[in-house]
Each structure stands twice: as C-alpha cells, then as structure tokens.
Amino acid sequence: MRAVVQRVKYAKVSVDEKIIGQIDKGIMLLLGIEENDEVKDLDYMCDKTINLRIFEDEDGKMNKSLIDVEGSILVISQFTLYGDARKGRRPSFITAADPSKAIPLYEKFIEKIKESGIKTEVGEFGADMQVELLNDGPVTILLDSKKTF
C-alpha cells in the first residue's frame, strides 16, 4: 500500500459537483492499493497514519499525532499512486490492485480508522472526484507498506 499524507486545515471531495466528504483540521490521505497487498499492509498503514506525529505541539515541533489533536481524516482511493512512468510517456498501472481486491481492502482501511475513534470522511471508489484542500505547512509525507525499514 502507498499513501500520500497531507496535513490540512481543511479538505473536501466532490463527485458531480456535490460534496460527499469534508473535514477541517486533520489529514487528507490518498490511498493506493497494490495487487499483492494483504491485511498486514493495511494494519501497518492504519497504525502509521493515525500515529504519525506531524502536528505541532506547544513548542511548534511536530510531536503530535492525529489522535493527539483530535483531528479528522479524509480518505481518497488513488490507484494512480502505482503509476509507473519509467518507460515511455504514458504511465502503466499494472501493479495497482484490481477493484475486486482493492475495494474490500479500502473499505477495511476505512473501518479500522473509524474504530480508532477518528472522524472519517471518504471519497467514492472509482469515481471521477474533485479534491480540494489547504495543505498546512505544507506537510506532505509519503508512506509505503513495503518500505517499513
């Protein structure tokens, strides 16, 4: 699994010009699922996301997690995180999981985040979405469950 984690002041996602998910302070997360991802990848990504210390403490240092600041998360499915543009000019997405595999993992990811008590909003898997956000910092972190050490 791959994720782009952005600390935001707000984020929202729309489909057909209708807002379907919206948060204030928190994380906007683009989540890509690979063909060989398993539950262990999902567990790693959930734990890392909610405990990542990217929010400022009283001294202005990034020492607080999403849980600590009682922030929200907006989760957007993003198969293009597995785009491979090394050859030619058109990216290949052959390592991205097929929807039959990706959707259950995406839904389980969302369920696990919600179980942690974090206010969670989501996009629509496979839809043409418009995402708007105000990156705070800017702080943007890349996570990959295959690069754990």
CB-based contacts of 91, cutoff 8 Å, min separation 6: 80, 83, 84, 85
Domain-embedded: residue 42: yes
**What pLDDT score does 149 carry?**
61
Q: State the CATH number of the domain containing residue 95.
A: 3.50.80.10
**What pLDDT score does 93 carry?**
95
Taking alpha carbons only, the member of 127, 115, 37 closest to residue 78 is: 127
Domain-embedded: residue 19: yes
Distance CA 105, CA 3 (A): 14
Question: What's the total number of domains in the chain?
Answer: 1
- CA count, 13 A, side-chain hemisphere, 65: 11
Residues 13 and 127 sit within 8 Å (Cβ to Cβ): no
Domain-embedded: residue 149: no
Domain span holding position 127: 2-144
Query: Which one is catalytic: 49, 80, 120, 140?
Result: 80
pLDDT in tens, the chain (149 residues): 999 999 999 999 999 999 999 999 999 999 999 999 999 999 999 999 999 999 999 999 999 999 999 999 999 999 999 999 999 999 999 999 999 999 999 999 999 999 999 999 999 999 999 999 999 999 999 999 998 76
Q: What is the sign of the dihedral through the CA atoms of 54, 121, 24 and 129? A: positive
Q: 44 in helix, strand or coil?
A: helix
Whether omega before 91 lies within 30 degrees of 0, making that bond cis, reads: no
Bridge partner residues of 132 (DSSP):
12
pTM of the model: 0.94
Say whether 80 is catalytic. Answer: yes
Bridge partner residues of 6 (DSSP):
28, 140
Bridge partner residues of 32 (DSSP):
2
Bridge partner residues of 131 (DSSP):
13
Domain-embedded: residue 73: yes
Bridge partner residues of 2 (DSSP):
32, 144
Residues 26 and 8 sit within 8 Å (Cβ to Cβ): yes
